[in-house]
């Protein structure tokens, strides 16, 4: 995702969202990205050269709101982190609060 292209849209979504918003950046080494790509059905559509052109390491949002998930974070660790950050481990509902504009 290119920050210069998507930052304004993501910030607007965050501002308009009635609940809490959480942003994460999955920091994956390029070699691992290539291995994941090779396993995709459409892997022959583009290759390493194109992916290197697209790659923007640590292309973070300007407002610093992203939590970086490092390459050593397991799936379980990542999931637990996100559940804890969002409060979903304490039995709370992921449904956002309502305001008068959204009530029937």
Domain boundaries, the chain: 3-85
Q: What is the pLDDT of residue 68?
A: 94
| Enclosing H/E stretch for 82 | helix 75-86
How many Cβ atoms are within 10 Å of 23's Cβ, its own excluded?
15
pTM over 0.75: no
Instruction: Using alpha carbons, select from 99, 96, 102 the residue that is nearest to residue 22.
Output: 96
Per-residue pLDDT of the chain (104 residues; tens, 9 = 90+): 688 888 889 888 888 988 888 999 999 999 999 999 999 999 999 999 999 999 888 889 887 788 999 999 999 999 999 999 988 887 655 555 554 444 43
**3-class DSSP state for residue 17?**
coil
3-state secondary structure of 48: helix
């Amino acid at each position: 995702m290119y920050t210069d292209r998507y930052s304004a849209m993501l910030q607007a979504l965050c501002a308009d969202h009635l609940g809490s918003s959480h942003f994460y950046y999955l920091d994956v080494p390029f070699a691992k990205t290539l291995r994941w790509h090779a396993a995709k059905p459409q892997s022959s559509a583009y290759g390493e050269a194109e992916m290197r052109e697209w790659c923007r390491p640590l292309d973070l949002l300007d407002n610093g709101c992203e939590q970086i998930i490092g390459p050593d974070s397991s799936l379980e660790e990542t999931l637990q982190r996100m559940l804890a950050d969002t409060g979903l481990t304490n039995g709370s509902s992921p449904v956002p609060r309502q305001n008068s504009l959204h009530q029937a």
